[in-house]
């Protein structure tokens, strides 16, 4: 398949998804499914997840497993809050990057230089991050300090003196709010498109724009430059890369430090949203970012889709607890599409013999999908409101389900997590 046909296929997939969301909105009467508020919230919630996942992608493409993203995000939040209340948003951005990079450097020293198990090192950083930031808060924000007089405490920093600016996309957001008016009509498809465009283009934080641009930049650097080729070779076969003159140690160090910087940038974004550092504000986003990276098959495009999915689920949960039940109808329709595609394949020439060769497994999957579709449709018809506990769990349950489905087609870098020593063939 050529690159152009993949691009067209992606556009068709996006169009089909918007059409399906519009149908579900009309059928369920839940206008928040495609409202501008939902997509604005989804964008804010997807960015820190995407940045954490981007950090994981850089490290794991170089062969270093990084489950310490959560701890690196925590370090980024504290340093951003500490610098932001003194010198403003841009100082917070730089300090958060350095704080996350410091966590990445610690992970690189442990795994690359000393050969510590990557999982053990990552867990240690996840434990160390909150502990270090609490210690720093008790040192710098104790009673009698200027920060304490400005409103700081052991669990939070003073407010940032100059918040990061927001921008709106020209033509779509300037002048009369045409998109808002069109969204308010609740017309089929047209109002849905207006709501999505308005949510994604109106009053967008500058860091959101930067985070979105980092995805194609990462793709270009890792897949279209000599440096990116060396980095990916270190994650596939570091001994072969070594034999070609690549300094594998330096590549791994750079990748893991960059990984920490991206995670720290995700922490900076959380500080910008709340306008201050608050203890525990990452709320496991580093782990969800890691899940989004795995869902995306260690590629920026897939990572963007995964983080958008998790951000949308969280945004819809915040906007409307009733709209969560529309996921039942949405999932039922997706299963129906899956069954129709399977039946078409069965009826096409030569396909029955192929299905027969696969045995009972193919028919079992179809039967399970049909049963699931019926159950989900029944739940949508009978359940009006989910308990708050289930609503709160929705993004995390979605994370597990997506990983369960995506695990069937994943291909991680071959030397990901492998202990590398120069001159020692594994």
| Tens digit of each residue's pLDDT (9 = 90 or more) over 90-129 | 999 999 999 999 999 999 999 999 999 999 999 999 999 9
- pLDDT at position 126, please? 96
Cβ atoms of 77 and 191 within 8 Å: the answer is no
Cβ atoms of 124 and 282 within 8 Å: the answer is no
Average pLDDT over the chain reads 85
The band of 154, judged by pLDDT with boundaries at 50, 70 and 90, is: confident
Of the candidates 79, 81, 84, 87, the one whose C-alpha atom is nearest the C-alpha of residue 103 is: 79
Cβ atoms of 215 and 51 within 8 Å: the answer is no
Helix (H), strand (E) at residue 204: strand 204-205
Give CA angle at 288 (282, 290), nearest 5°.
Answer: 115
**The pTM is what?**
0.87
d(CA 41, CA 105): 32
Mean pLDDT of 346-371: 68
Mean pLDDT of 182-187: 86
Mean pLDDT of 43-63: 95
Mean pLDDT of 28-48: 88
The band of 239, judged by pLDDT with boundaries at 50, 70 and 90, is: very high
**Angle, helices 326-347/3-28, rounded to nearest 10 degrees:** 130
Of these ranges, 49-58, 153-162, 346-355, the one predicted with the greatest mean pLDDT is 49-58
Judged against a pLDDT cut of 60, whether residue 370 lies above it is answered with yes
* Residue 410 falls in which region: left (phi positive, over 0), alpha (psi -120 to 50) or beta: beta
Judged against a pLDDT cut of 80, whether residue 351 lies above it is answered with no
d(CA 253, CA 230): 13
């Amino acid at each position: 398949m050529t690159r152009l046909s993949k691009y067209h296929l992606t556009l068709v997939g996006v169009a089909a998804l918007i059409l399906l969301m519009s149908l579900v909105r009309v059928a369920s009467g839940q206008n928040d499914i495609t409202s501008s508020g939902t997509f604005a919230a989804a964008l804010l919630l997807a960015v820190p997840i995407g940045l954490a996942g981007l950090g994981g992608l850089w490290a794991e493409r170089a062969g270093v497993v990084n489950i310490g993203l959560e701890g690196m995000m925590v370090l980024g939040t504290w340093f951003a809050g500490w610098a932001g209340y003194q010198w403003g948003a841009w100082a917070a951005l730089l300090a958060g990057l350095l704080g996350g990079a410091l966590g990445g450097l610690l992970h690189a020293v442990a795994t690359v230089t000393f050969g510590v198990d990557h999982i053990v090192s990552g867990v240690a950083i996840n434990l160390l991050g909150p502990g270090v930031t609490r210690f720093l808060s008790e040192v710098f924000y104790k009673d009698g300090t200027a920060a304490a007089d400005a409103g700081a405490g052991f669990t939070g920093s003073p407010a940032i003196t100059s918040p990061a600016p927001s921008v709106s996309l020209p033509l779509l957001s300037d002048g009369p709010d045409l998109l808002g008016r069109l969204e308010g009509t609740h017309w089929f498809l047209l109002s849905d498109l207006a709501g999505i465009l308005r949510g994604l283009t109106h009053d967008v934080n500058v860091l959101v724009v930067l985070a979105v641009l980092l995805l194609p930049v990462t793709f270009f650097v890792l897949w279209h430059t000599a440096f990116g080729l060396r980095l990916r070779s270190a994650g596939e076969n570091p001994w072969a890369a070594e034999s070609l003159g690549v300094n594998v140690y330096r590549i791994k160090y750079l990748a893991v430090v960059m990984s920490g910087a991206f995670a720290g940038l995700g922490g900076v974004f959380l500080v910008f949203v709340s306008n201050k550092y608050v203890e525990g504000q990452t709320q496991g986003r580093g782990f969800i970012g890691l899940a989004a990276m795995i869902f995306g098959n260690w590629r920026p495009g897939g990572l963007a889709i995964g983080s958008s999915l998790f951000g949308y689920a969280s945004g819809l949960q915040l906007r409307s607890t009733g709209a969560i039940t529309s996921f039942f109808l949405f999932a039922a329709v997706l299963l129906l599409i899956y069954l129709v595609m399977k039946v078409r394949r069965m009826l096409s020439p030569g396909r029955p013999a192929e299905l027969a060769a696969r045995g009972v497994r193919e028919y079992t999957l179809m039967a399970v999908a049909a049963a699931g579709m019926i159950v989900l449709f029944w739940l949508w018809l009978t359940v009006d409101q989910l308990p708050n506990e289930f609503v709160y769990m929705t993004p995390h349950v979605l994370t597990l389900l997506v990983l369960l489905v995506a695990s069937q087609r994943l291909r991680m870098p071959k030397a990901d997590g492998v202990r590398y020593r120069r001159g020692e063939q594994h």
